A and B are shown apart, each in its own frame.
Chain A
Amino acid sequence: MKPLNELTITEARELLDKGEVTSRQLTEACLQQIKSLDGALHAYLEVYEEDALAAANRADDRRAEGNVLGPLDGIPVAIKDNMLLQGKSSTAGSKILQGYTASYDSTVVKKLVDAGSVILGRVNMDEFAMGSSTERSAYGPTKHPRDPERVPGGSSGGSAVAVAADMCLGALGSDTGGSIRQPASLCGIVGLKPTYGRVSRYGLIAMASSLDQIGPMTKCVEDASIILETIQGQDNNDQTSSDEAYFKPFWKKSLQGVKIGLPKQAWTSQGVEDRVKEKTEAAVAALKSAGADLVEIDLPYADEALAVYYILMPCEVSANLSRFDGMRYGLRKQGLPLFETYAQSRAEGFGDEVMRRVLLGAFALSSGYIDAYYVRAKKVQTLIRQAYEHAFQDVDLIVTPTSPTTAFKFGEKMNDPVAMYLEDVFTVSVNVAGVPAISIPCEDDGGMPVGIQLIGKWFDEATLLSAARVLEAQLNTDN
């Protein structure tokens, strides 16, 4: 048997059901791995060792009494630092929230806890989820598990590294423009962004509310499905959560009869690294081997999607982050008049990238410019949604590389925001349209990981995950 912390959730669940391992053993194995590796990798901002062991003991007691709560009962997981857990610190990777204690549970964390999951701790992220490298965390960067001189991607870099380095069995991330899928791609794990509205955002520290979505980051597709089944659903505390039928997985054995679109805009794109090109093209060949019908499609507005995203997102950021004013919680500069208290608290509490986006958003929303920027971007957003609707009339899924690059070196893009923003070139349109997408690893040669992105129709995660699982199996066979 492989070390317990290296198990997938699916494998751990089978062993728990057979009585061959306990939740306590799984949790201790993860805690031991955290002690061994996290000093070097810095994925965790806080580890809840005592609470985790107590939760594992309770899971084992329930199992002994025959009261298993579900497939996640006793499974150790990590949560991104922007999801509230009552009584625990939550900072969204920002200095402005240092010392903040959550007064309520986010819906996703409550669902995990109610399902018996063992919460190991909170993991690192770019400040307020603004970044693609986790270098923007106020608490220091997280390092790539295969090469500590490289970034793990972001903003959910802590979640990706915790999973990739076997410091948990699964994790939650949040994705506003690619923040689950890009670090999953760079770290060689699975990352799923569900349809907007599939998962409640209540208790998620907001970045851009119309784009944010919480999703699983795991070692395999089936694990992502297990977590999604647990955290999904309408929530009275989030008006944008949907009453669409719940996701239920159905697993097909091949892609026979599945039509997959390859957008020419993505596959002829300049600026894609050779290694990404080579590995993703091999993955496309694997899709064909698995029986898929591949067709080139036109998916217009690919370039415009990035521009639209970098207008809409900062506008929402500037509104959402206005609550951090030093009054009710968070950092307050003392002994100043009111306006200076606001200004100094925010200037000291926010990092450079956060301030850049707040300023851009405030500018784009200002009375002289709102029509030229925000209103026009909203119109193009409609065109992007229509382009997806049109494409999905002919195909079941769309496939692109997840990221144009593999993991890059620390500092390489820190002084060039546009280069950093281009990391999201294949992922942002998915958030702008609100569709679901998954990144799965498509290399196994020990080099820098590469991910391939599968995009599905609104609320059709079942087809998306089924195809991803077939591709995952095909790639394992090919490799």
Chain B
Amino acid sequence: MPSKSQGWREDVAFEADEATRELILTNFPERAGDLLAAPGVFEVPKK
């Protein structure tokens, strides 16, 4: 028969080490200095 569900795992935060954190942030497509940049919801970009 099809596989059994294992239920849910604990909904707890776990901390990434610094190298993993950096790896995740490196994948962010746009940065402004130390900040991660995302398009504004209501903002029309300046030409």
Interface residues of A (CB under 8 A from B): 86-87, 100-104, 195-198, 234, 236-237, 239-244, 326-332, 334-338, 341, 385, 389, 433-434, 458-459
Contact = CB atoms under 8 A, between A and B. Distances in A.
B3 A197 contact: yes
Contact of B6 (A241, A336, A389): A241
A101 B43 contact: no
A458 B23 contact: no
A101 B23 CA distance: 7
Interface string B4-47: 11111100000010001001101111100000001111011100
B5 A239 contact: yes
The DSSP consensus for interface residues of chain B is: loop
Given A103-B20, A103-B24, A329 B29 contact: yes
Interface of B: 1-9, 16, 20, 23-24, 26-30, 38-41, 43-45
Contacts, number: 78
A236 B2 contact: no
Contacts of A327: 29, 38
11 contacts: A86-B20, A103-B23, A234-B6, A240-B5, A241-B3, A327-B29, A329-B27, A329-B28, A330-B29, A336-B45, A458-B1
A239 B23 contact: no
Contacts of A196: 2-3
A332 B29 contact: yes
A326 B8 CA distance: 29
A101 B41 contact: no
Chain A at the B interface: mostly helix, strand, loop or mixed? loop
B39 A328 contact: no
A338 B40 contact: yes
Nearest to A337: B44
Q: Which 10 A-B pairs rank lowest in CB-CB distance, beginning with the nearest?
A: A197-B3, A242-B3, A332-B29, A329-B27, A103-B23, A434-B2, A338-B39, A103-B24, A341-B39, A239-B6
Nearest to A342: B39
A195 B23 contact: no
A234 B39 CA distance: 40
Contact of B23 (A86, A385, A459): A86
Contact of B28 (A198, A328, A434): A328
B29 A337 contact: no
Contacts of B29: 326-332
B43 A337 contact: yes
A19 to B, nearest CB: 37
Contact of A338 (B6, B23, B41): B41
Nearest to A433: B2
Nearest to A234: B6
A244 B39 contact: no
A334 B24 CA distance: 20
A242 B4 CA distance: 6
A243 B6 contact: yes
